[in-house]
Chains A and B, each alone.
Chain A
Amino acid sequence: QVQLVESGGGLVKPGGSLRLSCAASGFTFSDYYMSWIRQAPGKGLEWVSYISSSGSTIYYADSVKGRFTISRDNAKNSLYLQMNSLRAEDTAVYYCASMLKVNGPPFPYYWGQGTLVTVSS
C-alpha cells in the first residue's frame, strides 16, 4: 500500500535552515508529481510547493518563494524540502503528498502523517 513518511522536522531558530525528507513506497514514485503542504498549529492547510515527476516543473507559494527549494531523487524514491531563512510563521506540520492526475491538473491524493517544524528562539 502507499506509504509516505516525512522526517527532518524539529526546532530551529529564526533565520536557520532545515531539510525535510519524504520516503515513498508502494507506488512507482517516478511516475507521480509530488507536493508539500503545511498546517500551522490550530490553523488550516496551506499549499507550499509541487514538483513534476521528472523534476523539470516546480512551483512555490508566494509565502516561501526564494527561501524554500523542493527537489526529488527518483532513484531513492524520496522527496525533499530545503527550508532556508526560516521565520516564526513557518512553524507548522509539513505534509508530503503524492499527486494524482485524472482529467484536470494534478491534485494531492495520498498524504503522509506529517513532520512538525518549530521556528523559535
Chain B
Amino acid sequence: SYELTQPPSVSVSPGQTARITCSGDALPKKYAYWYQQKSGQAPVLVIYEDSKRPSGIPERFSGSSSGTMATLTISGAQVEDEADYYCYSTDSSGNHRGVFGGGTKLTVL
C-alpha cells in the first residue's frame, strides 16, 4: 500500500523557520495537503494543493513540492504553532483513496 513518510519530530526556537518534509513516490503526480492538529483538537487544513493557503491561515505557513518530496515551511514559528502536522495525498490508483503521513510533532521552545 502507498505510504507517505514524515520525520517524527522537528524542534525550533521561536522566530526560527521550521521545515517539515513528506516523501512519497506518487507526489510528482499528486498534490500534497497539510493539516495541523493541536492537542485534543480536530485537525485543521493549513495548506492545500502543494502550496495554497486557506483563508484565515497565517502567511507564515507555506508549502512547496518537488519530485517525491513536499515541504511545509513555517517562517518565524510561534509558540502557538506547536502541534502535530500531517501530510495527506492520494494514491496513484486513480480512485483518489487518501493516505496520511505518520505525522510530525513540532516543538517550538
- Docked Cα-Cα span, A105 to B32, in Å, equals 11
The 0/1 profile, CB within 8 Å of B marked 1, for residues 12-26 of chain A is: 000000000000000
Question: Contact at B45–A105, with CB atoms within 8 Å?
Answer: no
Indicate the size class of the contact surface on chain A: 20 to 34
Indicate the size class of the contact surface on chain B: 20 to 34
Chain B residue, CB-CB nearest to A102? B49
Cβ contacts under 8 Å, A102 to chain B: 48-49, 52
Chain A residues within CB distance 8 Å of chain B: 35, 37, 44-47, 50, 59, 61-62, 95, 100, 102-109, 111-114
Chain A residue, CB-CB nearest to B100? A45
The 0/1 profile, CB within 8 Å of A marked 1, for residues 2-24 of chain B is: 00000000000000000000000
Question: Contact at B96–A114, with CB atoms within 8 Å?
Answer: no
Question: Contact at B42–A106, with CB atoms within 8 Å?
Answer: no
- Docked Cα-Cα span, A105 to B102, in Å, equals 21
Closest-CB distance, A44 to chain B (whole angstroms): 4
